[in-house]
Amino acid sequence: MKNLDSIFAAYLIAWGVFFLYFVTVARRTSALRGEIERLKSLVNRSK
Amino acid sequence: MTKDAIAGALVLLLLAADAYASFFVAPTEATMGPIQRIFYLHVGSAWTGLTCFLICFIANLLYVFRRQPRWDWLGVACAEVGLAFTTVVLVTGPIWAHPVWGIWWTWDARLTSTFVLWLLYVSYLLLRTLIEEPDRRALFSALFGIFAFLDVPLVFGAIRWWRTQHPQPVIMGGPGSGLQPTMRWVLLFSWVALLGLMTLLLRYRYRLEAMRGELQMVEREVEGA
């Protein structure tokens, strides 16, 4: 198939962008969840 | 199995079916040959990105009038997800253009307005990092988001109003435009699959922003304790 490498590159980059974006959101969510838990336990201890 | 895992599996199935349809169901275009198959990913991503920016614009307007944080959360989620889809458009476009036009890029009205759109939403996200106070940040970014959306009609109209290197529209292009029926169905199916992905990403990103709101509340409690 002519230009198969270009088609392959386009799909690979596109799914790479979506996957990387998903990973960054998941990492930010997990870091934030940890921070909320830490602060909540701090509030509970001070009560 | 959680709801998220089921939704994720469904979207993956939909995307796999979309890739199959793009490669094996859609006919090969007579002039460009197989490279034209990028069309389904490129146009589908463009429509999905513009859909995100439309939702972002509505959320920005609702924030300005109602001042409820959830509209700010939706606005930033849509801006980020829309930016991811527009990045895909700006990358797949030149990959398709090079073998067909002989050049990677040209500053015609469609390509330029799309690049400006990408820059505007990058600025929207950068602006948010510069303002500390949450209410001010939400208001300024909502106002900037409303301004940024002004470029969307330009992107849509660029290939209708001006002569461009970019092809003329195949959907809603008026008399003389159109798409072979199987190609049209595959394109619509691609858009539906990408809308599924958009919904999933928006859901995750909105949840992240809602958690940030919760964190600010807890921080205030800690400061008060």
Q: What percent of chain A has a predicted confidence (pLDDT) above 70?
A: 96
- Predicted ipTM? 0.90
A6 touches chain B (CB under 8 A): yes
Q: Scanning the structure block, which residue is given the tokens 């919760």? A: B214
B137-170, pLDDT tens digit by residue? 999 999 999 999 999 999 999 888 888 888 887 7
C-alpha pair distances (Å), B100 with each of B31, B32, B47, B57, B193: 9, 7, 22, 35, 27
Is residue B154 included in any domain, yes or no? yes
Tens of pLDDT, residues B35-74:
999 999 999 999 999 999 999 999 999 999 999 999 999 9
pLDDT given at position A1: 61
Scan residues 7-46 of A and list those with Cβ closer than 8 Å to B: 7, 9-11, 13-14, 17-18, 21-22, 25-26, 28-29, 32-33, 35-36, 39-40, 42-43, 46
pTM recorded for the entire structure: 0.93
- Counted domains in chain B: 1
Instruction: Please indicate, yes or no, if residue B30 is contained in any of the structural domains.
Output: no
Residue B44 included in any domain? yes
Q: Is A36's CB within 8 Å of B214's CB?
A: yes
Phi, psi angle pair for B2, to nearest 5°: -75, 165
Quick: pLDDT tens for A7-19.
Answer: 999 999 999 999 9
Residue B31 domain flag: no
Determine, yes or no, domain membership for B112: yes
Shortest distance between the Cα of A25 and any Cα of chain B, in A, equals 6
| Six token digits for residue B143 | 């106002």
Provide the residue range defining the domain that includes B50: 3-25+36-169+176-224
